[in-house]
Amino acid sequence: MTASIESAQELADALPDGVVVAGADGAVVLVSSVAGRMLGGAPADLVGQPLGEVLALQDQDGKAWHACNTPYDGLATRTAVPEQPWLLPDGTEVLVAARLHRESLRDPVSRVAVTLRSGRGRARLDRERSDLVATVAHELRSPLTGVKGFVQALLNRWDKLSDDQKKLMLTTVSADSDRLSRLIAELLDVARIDTGRLQLYPRPSDATVLVQRIVDSVQAGTSRHIELVGEEDLPEISVDPDKFTQVVTNLIENGVRHGEGTVRVTLAPLPATAEFAGVILIVDDEGAGIPMELRRRVFTKFWRGGARGGSGLGLYLVNGLVRSHGGTVVIDDAPGGGARLVLTWPAEDRTGPR
């Protein structure tokens, strides 16, 4: 080997992905150690062999990578083979991409550089997508079943039901429909946060009025006591009222679902020493709390605490929406035991350019 080839070999061996390079004649000139392990041969033994034989990769139909992609043929403007899933001889999936080098558009391919990457990341992504589908299906099915059941009962027994029974059924259908709408809104907002396309429309708002409405709404659907403690003359906060309502509803419903006893919501002005003027909102429950070692994971997607279910998206969304407003979220221990979530909301618009 020349010094340049030896240097290229050392560089290729240092990469986390496998690398195979072939020259203009289709013979392999370099195989990294990672690629050698994947392909089942020593790199030195693979050098000099035809690229099609070294890349012993097949798809689900038994077709070979080289025969399907013909890297040395095709249009002169062709510069790459996009990443595709292929199977190694032992059945392991790898993701394969190639770069086709030419001296100019008039010249044939002078070098083919192929990368082989483990398919474990793709499998993990597939599992995450499957988790999302399963979560969404489960969360949608419960209220949808209620809506369908009550609507069917109304259609089949309309003349036999009293007005009070009809009103109860329609009230339940309305509540389940609202739950479906909230879940769909959450899913859309999660996607917008992930892609950086979340749009906020902040305006000066009275936190006490907004939180009181939320408390009354959640209280109507639970026997658990929800207490609102607020100081007078709170400063207005600059928030998108719909997103603020979404955040606080999530927190109170989490306290009801996973905690015990009274859920207490406290509003107070931020101290003068705070980074910005605004309001601090605290939600306490009397449950088991959130262990210190789990608090870093609480705001990740699909994290679920306790045995009472949930989509696993609520606190991820809370964190994203609060921070998008320029506020903060902190998890602590409630004074009487249980979980405490502390949120700060700014008095001035801190959402940045939109």
pLDDT band at 111 (very low <50, low <70, confident <90, very high): very high
How distant is the alpha carbon of residue 322 from its chain centre? 17
Q: What are phi and psi of 47, to 5 degrees?
A: -65, 135
Cβ within 8 Å of residue 196, ≥6 positions away = none
* Contact call for residues 280 and 330 (beta carbons, < 8 A): no
pLDDT by residue (tens digit) across 299-354? 777 666 655 555 667 788 899 999 999 999 999 888 877 889 999 999 999 886 54
pLDDT band at 181 (very low <50, low <70, confident <90, very high): confident
pTM listed for this prediction: 0.60
Average pLDDT over residues 260-270: 92
pLDDT at 306: 56
pLDDT band at 145 (very low <50, low <70, confident <90, very high): confident
The mean pLDDT of the chain is: 86
pLDDT band at 1 (very low <50, low <70, confident <90, very high): very low
pLDDT at 328: 94
Percent of the chain with pLDDT over 90: 47
pLDDT by residue (tens digit) across 71-88? 999 888 889 999 888 888
**Lowest-pLDDT choice from 87-96, 154-163, 274-283, 341-350:** 87-96
pLDDT by residue (tens digit) across 40-56? 999 999 999 999 999 98
pLDDT band at 127 (very low <50, low <70, confident <90, very high): low
**Lowest-pLDDT choice from 36-40, 104-108, 265-269:** 104-108
Average pLDDT over residues 152-177: 90
Q: What are phi and psi of 265, to 5 degrees?
A: -115, 125
**Three-state SS sequence of the chain:** CCHHHHHHHHHHHHCCCEEEEECCCCEEEEECHHHHHHHCCCHHHHCCCEHHHHCCCECCCCCEHHHHHCCCCCCCCCCEEEEEEEECCCCCEEEEEEEEEECCCCCCEEEEEEEEEECHHHHHHHHHHHHHHHHHHHHHHHHHHHHHHHHHHHHHHHHHCCHHHHHHHHHHHHHHHHHHHHHHHHHHHHHHHHHCCCCCCCEEECHHHHHHHHHHHHHCCCCCCEEEEECCCCCCEEECHHHHHHHHHHHHHHHHHHCCCCEEEEEEECCCCCCCCEEEEEEECCCCCCCHHHCCCCCCCCCCCCCCCCCCCHHHHHHHHHHHCCCEEEEEECCCCCEEEEEEEECCCCCCCC
Q: Is the pLDDT of residue 228 over 50?
A: yes
pLDDT at 59: 87
**Lowest-pLDDT choice from 13-17, 117-121, 191-195, 272-276:** 117-121
Candidate ranges 85-89, 139-143, 201-205; pick with highest mean pLDDT:
201-205
Average pLDDT over residues 25-49: 94
Average pLDDT over residues 163-187: 86
Give the domains, in start order, of the chain with CATH numbers.
Answer: 3-118 (3.30.450.20), 123-195 (1.10.287.130), 203-346 (3.30.565.10)
pLDDT at 77: 84
Which position has the higher pLDDT, 299 or 265?
265
CA terminus-to-terminus distance, the chain: 57
Q: Is the pLDDT of residue 194 over 90?
A: no
Q: Is the pLDDT of residue 105 over 50?
A: yes
Tokens matching residue 136: 């969404």
